[in-house]
Structure 1
Amino acid sequence: MGPKAAYRDGNVLRWLFAYAASLIGDGVYFLALGWAAARAAGPAEAGVVMAAGAVPRALLMLGGGVVADRFGPRLVVVSSDAVRCAVVLAVAAAVWTSTPGPGALILVALLFGAVDALFMPAVGALPPRIAGPGQLVRVQGMRNLVERVGHTAGPPLAGLALGVAGPGAAFAVAGALFAVSLVLLLAVRISPLPDAGAGGGGAGGTAESPWQQLRRGLAYIRRHPVIGPLVVSGALSQLGTSAPLTLGLILLAGERHWGPSGVGWIVGAFGVGAASSALILTLVPRVPKAGAVQNATLIVGSAGIGALALTPSLPAAVVLALVTGQVCGVCGGLAVALIQSATDPRYLGRVSSVMAFTAVGMAPMTYPVFGFAAGLFGTVPVFLAGGLLSMAGAIVGTSAPAVRRAELAFA
């Protein structure tokens, strides 16, 4: 009998539900933070408070990958989750007994962002340590599905808590969710690392300094024939599509008179499409010629995102977003599975941190650039330019022979 399918493996499911609880807790915490800041000050101060956490997250993310590889992802993910739980519960108590000012809330946001910079690379490095290579596509499909559910469930739960008992209750709910995540993570078993060898930079101690480990990790990514091109490809795709799928849709809906509900329909359709492809990868993970398929779906997905700017009617844009979300979901799931299956376990934290840094550190920086360029040239040309930049990522992947030939193991 072969190994269990990931969706029947209790160890994988414990990690998955822990990750889901953490994601929902993130959503509740973020909305509660903004609400508390708006109540304590004004809109401008609330915006500063909500943005403050992104600064340490971007600055420390790569270092978080080094920490995960140096001390092991399980220790880092459990410790950081415990700190997040303690911080948020402390804020809940403070909000119930007083009204923290913007300065205190900024400090909370900075601390939470710094701990997130440790948590995200560590949790991203766990899948290859809890599931075999033949289950990585399924695990990534399950992870993508949970991310969609988590991002959707967090804000309504926060709204319910805020409406019933205010920000203190919302922070308490977030803290409770982090506590659930912590308990489940403590029960997750992970496979041990192979012997790190000389200069490997694995867990359990090394003669290298953290800076040397970071440089070694970046060099490993740059030189790897599969990981290097896929990381660059993913970065170009993130930089090209993040602003169009957020700020760009808002500007486009304003120009086409689709209104806020139109943006909601398009974003929702994209999310449903991505969730459906995640479910498909979970249940039917066998994708022959995975590298070639990943490149092809990135080309199609990039074209679909760019084409949203040329769609004249809202119904057509919703349908296009649904199909594009499905294609992009397959592309993203395969990319992460290919990278993780090719990565030496001793470098999983650093590789994961580089991918997370692109998503949460670099991509948000494109929003003001997109807005400025849209003001100069119009929304449609900048939207199309974003799609072309994302497509350039596919060219990077396609031009790498090792990526074109890359395959995934299946169980």
Structure 2
Amino acid sequence: MGWSVRLRAAGAPLAVRPYRLHFAARMLSWTGSGVSSIGLAFAVLYIGGGPTGLGLVLAAGIAPQILLLLVGGVVADRWSRARVMVWTNAVSALAEAAAAVLLFTGSAQVWHLVAMATVCGAASAFFTPAAGGVVVEVVPAEMRHAANALLKLGQNTVKVAGPALGGVLVAVVGPGWVIGWDALTFAAAALLCARMGLGPARAKIRAGFVADLREGWTDFRSRRWLWVMVLQGSVVVPVWLVGYQILGPVYGERVLGGPELWGVVVSGFTAGLLAGAAVALVWKPRLVGVVVCLSTGCMSLPLAAMGARAPLPVLVSAVVVAGAGLAVSMTAWSGLVQERIPADRLSRVLSWSTLGQLVPVPAGYLAAGPLAGMFGVRRVLAAGAVVVAVAVVVPLLMRQVRALTLAPSPVLPAEELATAPR
């Protein structure tokens, strides 16, 4: 296949109007998220919360997702996914706006940010399975890999400069501004989602809520490759989030010297995500199980670099490689799940999958501060690197995981690309 055909096929999903609106809404929201992660971390540190306070805030964002994700999956399979995305974006906008006002006035306390994170986490529990099912609903099967890669590329393009900008904004004007910007982007995303025009789920609802929930669980547990890879994620995800979101900013403050240089590190990670998404846009791997595992293993590199107190250029290089690996892994994984799970059960299966990876995260967040105080930040980071490396290798010992493949995409003739549904 020539490069001109590859590039034309890669952009084909943008010809579909609901996908364009979905893409634009996600891009807007990501412009806020790109800076707000830095703003939230240093907001907690600046008001005296420390690593333990930051762990509480981050845990508060995860806990509602654990409690409500399964409900969100059923709701997304039953009702209009676009409408679910409208309301969840609107709720998040209101919560972030309230937190920004408290920070502007100097009256914010840790519990205020915990409350904001709780509301946004609850909204995310409904948004995540709804958004995960939109691609299957609005683009044909032959465009799904490109649609997933475009979303990942768009996300990382918008966010690549966000963390560095967030670090500068926090240092110059304070974290309230970056959280306020996030609120505005949530509101704009809600307006775009309202124009997608998607109706209720096409599947016929033949049973009640509990039966729908049970059907999603049955589909999930019947696929050994799926729950094994989710178990891998249940180890890698909390270890990575603890090391990167909690201990990383602490490392940046104590070792690198402040939010500006830590913002550079985070920008290196998003630059890697951008590079990996660009690769995924034109490369669809066949041995997706092997690619997902090996790409995920790159996430051990930044933890190891911080544990060894490597020079800043080495740390930035490590996060670039980790970001690239994660982008390739996530794009390939999304395509595999969308290919193998029926569309009318996709949101429910995704909710079970996401839940399995999130359950251990709050415990990790809450343990991060005490562990760092007991053993030291760098030792905890080094131990995390070892855990990630081991968790990546174990699934590859299974033949079923090594044999996971994606079906090759058919080459669309030029006339079909030009007449894609709008």
Same fold (TM over 0.5): yes
Give the Å deviation of 1:227. 3.4
What is the letter of the counterpart of residue 393 of structure 2?
M
Structure 2 gap ranges (5+): 412-422
Aligned to 1:183: 191
More displaced 10-residue stretch of structure 1: 353-362 or 12-21: 353-362
More displaced 10-residue stretch of structure 1: 91-100 or 242-251: 91-100
Question: What are the Cα deviations for residues 40-92 of structure 1, in whole angstroms up to 9, with x where unaligned?
Answer: x7537974566533332332223222221232422211222233334555666
More displaced 10-residue stretch of structure 1: 237-246 or 307-316: 307-316
Report 1:259-408 matches (<5 A): 266-282=265-281, 284-298=282-296, 301=298, 304=301, 308=305, 314-358=312-356, 360-367=358-365, 372=371, 375=375, 378-379=379-380, 380-395=382-397, 398-400=398-400, 403-408=403-408
Aligned to 2:24: 17
Do the aligned residues in 2 keep the contact of 1:130 with 1:189 (CA within 8 Å)? no
Distance 1:103 1:59 in 2: 20
Distance 1:348 1:182 in 2: 23
| Alpha carbons of structure 1 residues 177 and 407: separation in structure 2 relative to 1, 3 Å | same
**Please, what is the CA RMSD of the aligned residues?**
4.4
Report 1:155-304 matches (<5 A): 156=165, 160=169, 167=176, 173-190=181-198, 193-196=201-204, 205-209=205-209, 211-224=210-223, 226-246=225-245, 266-282=265-281, 284-298=282-296, 301=298, 304=301
| Alpha carbons of structure 1 residues 24 and 213: separation in structure 2 relative to 1, 3 Å | same
Aligned pairs, number: 395
Distance 1:20 1:194 in 2: 27
Structure 1 gap ranges (5+): 197-204
More displaced 10-residue stretch of structure 1: 230-239 or 87-96: 87-96
Aligned to 2:416: none
More displaced 10-residue stretch of structure 1: 69-78 or 182-191: 182-191
| Alpha carbons of structure 1 residues 217 and 63: separation in structure 2 relative to 1, 3 Å | same
Distance 2:109 2:379 in 1: 40
| Alpha carbons of structure 1 residues 140 and 34: separation in structure 2 relative to 1, 3 Å | same
Aligned to 2:409: 409
Aligned to 1:69: 77
Give the Å deviation of 1:110. 2.8
Match of 1:120 among 111, 124, 128: 128
Secondary structure of the corresponding residue to residue 404 of structure 1? coil
Do the aligned residues in 1 keep the contact of 2:269 with 2:322 (CA within 8 Å)? yes
Distance 2:34 2:367 in 1: 26
Aligned-pair identity (%):
21
**Are 1:83 and 2:91 matched, yes or no?**
yes
| Alpha carbons of structure 1 residues 30 and 403: separation in structure 2 relative to 1, 3 Å | same
What is the letter of the counterpart of residue 20 of structure 2?
L
Do the aligned residues in 2 keep the contact of 1:6 with 1:135 (CA within 8 Å)? yes
**Are 1:54 and 2:54 matched, yes or no?**
no
Give the Å deviation of 1:181. 0.6
Q: What's the TM-score, normalizing by structure 2? A: 0.73
Q: What's the TM-score, normalizing by structure 1? A: 0.75
Distance 1:303 1:109 in 2: 27
Give the Å deviation of 1:265. 5.3
